A = this chain, B = another copy of it.
Amino acid sequence: MDFSELLAKRRSIRDYQEKEVSLDLVKAIIRESCLAPSATNGQPWRFIIIHDRKLMKRLSDESKRNLLALMEQSSSPLTSVYGAFLRNEDYNVYYNAPCLVFIVGRKNHRSLRVDCALAAGYFMFAATARGLGTCWIGLGLSIQDPELRQEIGLPDDYTIVAPIILGYPNSVPAQPSREPRILKIL
């Protein structure tokens, strides 16, 4: 798949086929994600692979609960947008995807978020190149419960940067047209 096709097909996918993604495929995608650049070549990314739909539902419930509490506490403007979703018991933030990968790292690593975002970009392209779809699930990163964190192997001093769902898409939306905003050319 050449880059123009990758650009067209790498879209945020929220509707997946039932078909499972093989663990070998997920590992191959993670292997390629590690080729991303990172500040001072720190490579702070670590990965947790979850391909258990029942566990994904529990993680979704946990993240929804925590985000809703946070939004209500801080009167965030996001509450009006996401509150209804987060209060809906049937809403699974990971949609119907068969697989979820958390890109995580040590909280105190200086460039953690940016480095993991670069690895996430690689991950999404590597998945697209294999005919898979992905979506970075911003609502799915608030896993606070100590027992649940221990169950998924997430140490206390680690944080989840990128929760990415993965699966075979039912359909891929058309490529959008976007106008770059260039502030100045010198």
Contacts and interface: CB of A to CB of B under 8 A. Distances in A.
Contact of A2 (B2, B136, B184): B2
Interface string A115-147: 101101110111001000001101000000000
A183 B48 contact: yes
B117 A46 contact: no
B185 A46 contact: no
A30 interface: yes
Interface in A104-122: 104, 111, 113-115, 117-118, 120-122
A182 B56 CA distance: 18
Contact of A122 (B31, B121, B182): B121
Nearest to A176: B35
A51 interface: yes
A84 interface: no
Contacts of A104: 183
A43 B159 CA distance: 24
Interface in A16-59: 23, 27, 30-37, 39-40, 43, 45-52, 55
Interface string A64-95: 00000000000000000100000000000000
A154 B183 contact: yes
Interface of A: 1-4, 6-7, 10, 12, 23, 27, 30-37, 39-40, 43, 45-52, 55, 81, 104, 111, 113-115, 117-118, 120-122, 124-126, 129, 135-136, 138, 151-154, 161, 175-176, 178-186
